[in-house]
Amino acid sequence: MQYRNLGRSGVKVSTLCLGGMTFGEADSTSMMHGASSSQAEAFAVLDHAVAGGINFIDVADVYGQDGLAERVLGDWLVKTQKRDDLVLATKFRFRMGPGLNQTGASRYRIMRTVEDSLRRMKTDRIDLYQIHAQDLEVPEDELLRALDDLVRAGKVLYIGCSNYAAYRLVESLYTSEQQRLERFVSLQAQYSLTVRDLEREHVPACLRHGLGILPWSPLAGGFLSGKYRKDQAPPAGSRYDTERWKKSLDRFDNPRNWQILAALDETAAETSQSVAAVALAWLSQKPAVTSVIFGARTVAQLDDNLKAADLTLSPAQMTRLDAASAFEVGYPYEFRGRLTGGRW
């Protein structure tokens, strides 16, 4: 396992981060119903992840019903006494119950969500506290002031954002600088061979301002795991074999995505690694990426993904995957590229 600084902060995290969206058996009200694991399975995955060198775990208050993922993680921390060996990240923003102020990122709400997450995870501090998505109804300085107060109180050590528009991210960093408030050290966002939109604005912004990118869904919801093939039914027992998820596979059925899988197959054969490990390694080697967040329902899935930590792709292999996953950057990026010889 390799370790990198989280953005421009001093804390070091593993280049692979275990995502906890699958922790605990989610009921039918959860988006993870039918794709989650029992507490015993989650404990086994956590044990193996830490044994494999992972020191970075990411959850959110909204994962599972009533903070299920945080509660499972808290129980495991008490059982193993591993709290001081790990960097724990969680998120807030989305609705956690009925009522006007049970959603959003107001100061009023943040002061409650942090206490709820601390209680569920059975810890005295959150190492990385992230807003799960921007809240256009809350001024950014109100959000940052609340988070700054939590850092000063020692309840939060670092702050980050997730699913932010690039303009909002830069506005937030400017506000932090002007008002001398804590600034985001990381951006958690969707990023994979199938979804590279982040490269238009977010990657340059993060490189310029020193934020570490934490990609989520690096295997495109399992599509890049190597299980799924063109014109073939999903394997029995896989996520997309369930009624809840079957139609979701249709969105990947296009020439570009099958081209990506073909390039992954070729690279996997060259490296004697799995398709999933190659997809994770490609992302880990992209500019500004600090740690790639992946989920695992079983120890077998975890062990397969952990192989990416020790896999370094050659420049030729990176170029092959970049070319296979090339996407239309649109205006004004294509226009600028014509003027600068390909640079956006």
Active-site positions? Answer: 63
Question: Residue 108 carries which side chain, given as an amino acid letter?
Answer: Y
Identify the DSSP state of 233. Answer: P
- Which has the closest alpha carbon to 157: 4, 293, 9, 58? 9
How many whole angstroms separate alpha carbon 248 and alpha carbon 252?
Answer: 8
Asked if residues 184 and 169 have their Cβ atoms less than 8 Å apart, the reply is: yes
Cross-strand partners of 13: 4
How many whole angstroms separate alpha carbon 221 and alpha carbon 314?
Answer: 26
Asked if residues 215 and 200 have their Cβ atoms less than 8 Å apart, the reply is: no
Asked if residues 52 and 15 have their Cβ atoms less than 8 Å apart, the reply is: no
Question: E strand or H helix at 334, and its extent?
Answer: helix 333-340
**Interstrand relation of 3-5 and 12-14 (parallel, antiparallel or unpaired):** antiparallel
182: three-class secondary structure by DSSP: coil
How many whole angstroms separate alpha carbon 10 and alpha carbon 4?
Answer: 9
